[in-house]
Amino acid sequence: MKKSQEKLDAARELVSQCDRCGTCLTVCPLFGSKDIESSAARGKNSILRALAEGGLEPTAEVRAALDFCILCQRCVDNCPAKVKTDEAMILARQYLADNAGGATLKYQFVGGAMSRPWLIKMGALGLSVARKLGLNSLAPFGAAPDEYTRTHYLTAFSGPGALGSATAPSSAAVTPNSRVAYFKGCGMQILFPEAAAQSMEVLGRITKPVTRDNVCCGLPHLAHAMGPDFLELARENIRQFEDVDVVVSDCASCSGTLKHVGSYLADDPQWKDRAAAFSAKVMDLTEYLAKSGYVPRQKSGAKITYHDPCHLCRGQGIKKEPRALLAAAGDYKEMKDSDVCCGGGGSFFMDYPEISDSIIDKKRRNIEATGADVVVTGCPGCLIQLNKAAKASGKFKALHISQVV
């Protein structure tokens, strides 16, 4: 990671092409909920430039303004100059944290816990017990919803059995002899273990996936100004998976982060080649299934719609693969604004609950408009939000894509 001032200079360089045209205002989910200039990329870029040029001091107010970003990348996607405001915010947050003596205590605690695989396993076990006792509903912000399982789904929407023949396999380097590993994401293991088990079941129909005692992908650390911790986690994950050909993740945030490990270690002569090789073999679950010519296990009678995780559709450019799989697994219905952020944003829904709730409420209405029985996604963070929407609606259920295909 760059030294403190270098981070700020790099962030300023990233936003230097912002000409304040305002196209970001029309797509930013935060500006849509909180009509304040600093909510959107244009305002944040102006604050960042003033900070870098000495017009602003690194105060708590400046830090709060630059923290108020969900990193969904919609502004980048819509920007004529493709200004990478999300990357600039990560660099600026690290600069501000360095000047303040480190990340906030809350995120140091969370980051420390997520860096320890044994605590992730304990968390998963604890939530499993809480669900059996009906105590998970006591978790704040709806962070521990009941898990709607594949068994529930098939019981409600059972349909004809086997589907037709597979589509032509991709020309990508995915072969029957590829050594495939499943990356155990923290959110999937703790919050949605049945969906994680379904991912392994699906992968087992194609290959013999292996697992490792991997650590967190590091996105929470990267997003909350714990850059050195992120890099240490990245190095450990590289070590864990150097003997496999493909690393598959069923969490869009994990796969999106792991694919960028190479860029974050590009200046490290000891690690840059190993990091680049690691990032090159990471795939999202739907990406791997599509390249393998996978056919869903069963076609249900359910009407299915899909929510695009930000880190999948914009972070990785994966949009067609999940839709093709879902169209083969049920009666697929496209949703309006399917790629608009759900308001989860990692811990954003806990830091800004009212704004997060207003964003997911818009999503709920769009889901209901499709008439879908089930809304599907590929990110546990999104699944928390979609479960809240499902509970508020009573008209649909929320599932991970591994539970449907």
Are 206 and 276 found together in one domain?
Answer: yes
Report the CATH number at residue 306: 3.40.50.11810
The verdict on residue 336 lying in a domain is yes
On whether both 285 and 329 belong to a single domain, the answer is no
Confidence band (pLDDT; 50, 70, 90) for 72? very high
Any domain includes 149: no
What does 58-87 look like in DSSP terms, one character per residue?
--HHHHHHHH------HHHHH-TT---HHH
CATH classification of the domain holding 51:
1.10.1060.10
Q: Return mean pLDDT, the chain.
A: 89
Residue 154 is assigned to a structural domain of this protein: no
Domain holding 78, by residue range, is 4-99
Q: DSSP letter string over 81-129?
A: T---HHHHHHHHHHHHHHHTTSS-HHHHHHHHHHT-HHHHHHHHHHHHH
The token pair at 9 is 């200079």
pLDDT at 210 > cutoff 70: yes
pTM for this prediction: 0.86
pLDDT of residue 235: 97
Residues 281, 381 share a domain = no
Label residue 2 by pLDDT band (50, 70, 90).
low
pLDDT greater than 80 at residue 90: yes
pLDDT confidence band for 158 (50 / 70 / 90): low
Instruction: Select from 75, 99, 123 the last residue of a domain.
Output: 99
Contacts of 266 (CB under 8 A, 6+ apart): 272, 275, 276
182: its two tokens: 């499943």
Assess contact for 329 and 299: CB atoms under 8 A. Answer: yes
C-beta of residue 143 within 8 angstroms of C-beta of residue 384: yes
Q: Do 189 and 228 lie in a common domain?
A: yes
Specify the pLDDT at position 138: 78
Judge if 275 and 361 occupy the same domain: no
pLDDT of residue 344 exceeding 80, the answer is: yes
- Grade residue 4 by pLDDT with cuts at 50, 70 and 90: confident
CATH number (domain holding residue 282): 1.20.1050
Q: Is the pLDDT of residue 117 over 50?
A: yes
The answer as to whether 31 is a domain residue is yes
Residues 303 and 396 in one domain: yes
Residue 160 in any domain: the answer is no
**Residue 215 and residue 307 in one domain:** no
Domain membership of residue 124 (yes or no) is yes
- What pLDDT sits at residue 250? 98
Q: Are residues 318 and 272 in the same domain?
A: no
Residue 147 lies in a domain: no
318 lies in some domain: yes
pLDDT tens-digit readout, 161-198: 322 222 233 233 577 788 999 999 999 999 999 999 99
Residues 121 and 240 in one domain: yes
List, in sequence order, the alpha helices (H) in 219-271.
219-223, 227-240, 252-258, 261-264
pLDDT at 396: 97
Residues 253 and 376 in one domain: no
- Per residue in 345-374, pLDDT (tens digit) is 888 888 899 999 999 999 999 999 999 999
Which of 41, 75, 99 terminates a domain? The answer is 99
Boundary-marking domain end, from 99, 120, 146: 99
Count of domains observed in the chain: 3
Residue 396 and residue 302 share a domain: yes
Looking at the structure, tell me whether residues 117 and 247 fall in a common domain: yes
